[in-house]
Amino acid sequence: MASRLSFSNRAGWLMALPGFGLIALFVILPFVLAFVLSFTNQRLVSPNPTEWVGLSNYQSLLGLGVLHLEPERDEAGQVVTDENGAPEYPRLRSYTRNNPDYPHLQGKSEWFSFDWGNGRTYVLASDVVFMKAIVNTLIFVAVVAPVQAGLALVLALLINQRLRGINIFRTVYFMPVVVSIVVVSLLWRFIYAEDGLLNNLLSGLTFGAFDGPDWLGNPRTALGAIIGMSIWQAVGFHMVIWLSGLQTISPTLYEAGAIEGASRWQTFRYITWPGLRNTAVLILIVITMQAFALFAQIDVMTKGGPLDSTQTIVFQAVQRGYGKQDISSGATISVFLFVLVLSISLLQRWLTRERR
């Protein structure tokens, strides 16, 4: 091929420059800026000059502390209990507010606590809401990535049959993908309402025995409801990618399998699945990247509530960077998210590497 290429610096740069220049300005520059800004106190608009603040953005975002407390005892050495018989502990405030013996706990508040030995261990965080956002995002990714990839494969296998009218089904399954997630989120607010379609359907199917919750208003069901809807919307996308993977598998392999008398499961296990290996890795990584970006569903459906049960990393980045115009804090979250996405993709790539 090399001989056919004409060496032409001027034309080459001239033709590549519009595209590369735009990417440099609108992708690479903001990407680098995110790192730089995370060490400053930059705001969108501010009368004061921007200053370097070192790691303080990271500390106030990710700071964690552990405190182990023994129950309070009276003069006789007996554990003081409240009216329910539970031991009483000293107030956390006395450790986190201006306590010279515990400078590392200054300004932190309780994230969660558990009983340990004779006392109680408290995990404290500088930013409890952000900790919840991290956990919610990780739960979302951990459920959505395998479930969506698996369902998409099932759909692809369903659609890959030779049946009259199969294209109609494929068209319908793919339909939600072209509809905006904003529109979908609004529609599903009806479905998830306390007297909404889902509860009416469930109560109809169980002859009134099932009395469903307000799915999005209940901290225990809100994140699950958003997970369900997100899978519904995006699964068609990955069905199509699986389908294109399925169609690269040579039909002669299936013929050979049929001659050998392979069962359906054996055909899938030894012919289909090995042929889908690369597709599987790609789909897993793509879904993971998309899942980490969870934002529109939250913004339209719950705004992070109830009780922060649907806070996510990107929602927090937007709330701070745009809502409070605190660019440096938003940039710090962006850097954190990028490092998280990158390390999980690399881990996935490493775990799914071909072992020879």
Partner 1 sequence: MAAIDPSNRGLRLFARYAVLTLVAVIFAFPLVFMLVSSLKPDDQLLRDTASLRAFLPVGDLSLRNYYAAFDRAPVGTFILNSVFVTGVTVALSLFVCSLAGFAFVFLRWTGRDLVLSVILATLIVPFETIAIPLLLVVSKLPWIGAEGLTLGWLNTYRVQIVPFIADGLTIFLFVQYFKDLPGDLIEAARVEGASNWQIYRRIVMPLSGPILATAAILKFLVMYNQYLWPLMVVQEEGRRPVMVGLQYFFQLNRAWGEIMAYLSLITVPVLAFYLYLQRAFIASIASTGVKG
Selected from 259, 264, 350, 356, the binder of partner 1 by CB under 8 A is: 264
Q: With the C-alpha atoms ordered 154, 156, 159, 162, is the resulting torsion angle positive or negative?
A: negative
Which residues lie below 8 Å from residue 287, measured CB to CB, with a gap of 6+? 144, 145, 148, 149, 234, 238
Residue 292 sits in the site that holds partner 1 (CB under 8 A): yes
Selected from 112, 116, 190, 273, the binder of partner 1 by CB under 8 A is: 190
Angle at 52 between CA 46 and CA 58, to 5 degrees: 100
Residue 102 sits in the site that holds partner 1 (CB under 8 A): no
Which residues in the 28-67 window bind partner 1 by CB under 8 A? 28-31, 33-34, 37, 42, 44-45
Which residues in the 235-254 window bind partner 1 by CB under 8 A? 236-237, 240-241, 243-245
Residue 227: other Cβ atoms inside 10 A: 19
Selected from 80, 172, 205, 307, the binder of partner 1 by CB under 8 A is: 172
Residue 98 sits in the site that holds partner 1 (CB under 8 A): no
Selected from 111, 173, 192, 215, the binder of partner 1 by CB under 8 A is: 173
Q: Strand pairing partners for 79? A: 73
- Please say which residue, 89 or 338, places its beta carbon nearer to partner 1: 338
User: For 283, what's the count of Cα atoms within 13 Å in the CB-facing half-sphere?
Assistant: 28
Residue 298 sits in the site that holds partner 1 (CB under 8 A): no
Residue 344 sits in the site that holds partner 1 (CB under 8 A): no
Q: Are 292 and 342 a contacting pair, CB within 8 Å?
A: no
Q: Which tokens hold the place of 113?
A: 């606590």
Residue 128 sits in the site that holds partner 1 (CB under 8 A): no
Residue 200 sits in the site that holds partner 1 (CB under 8 A): yes
Which residues lie below 8 Å from residue 254, measured CB to CB, with a gap of 6+? 267, 271
The amino acid sitting at 59 is Q
Residue 147 sits in the site that holds partner 1 (CB under 8 A): no
Residue 57: other Cβ atoms inside 10 A: 24
Residue 212 sits in the site that holds partner 1 (CB under 8 A): no
Selected from 5, 76, 259, 351, the binder of partner 1 by CB under 8 A is: 5
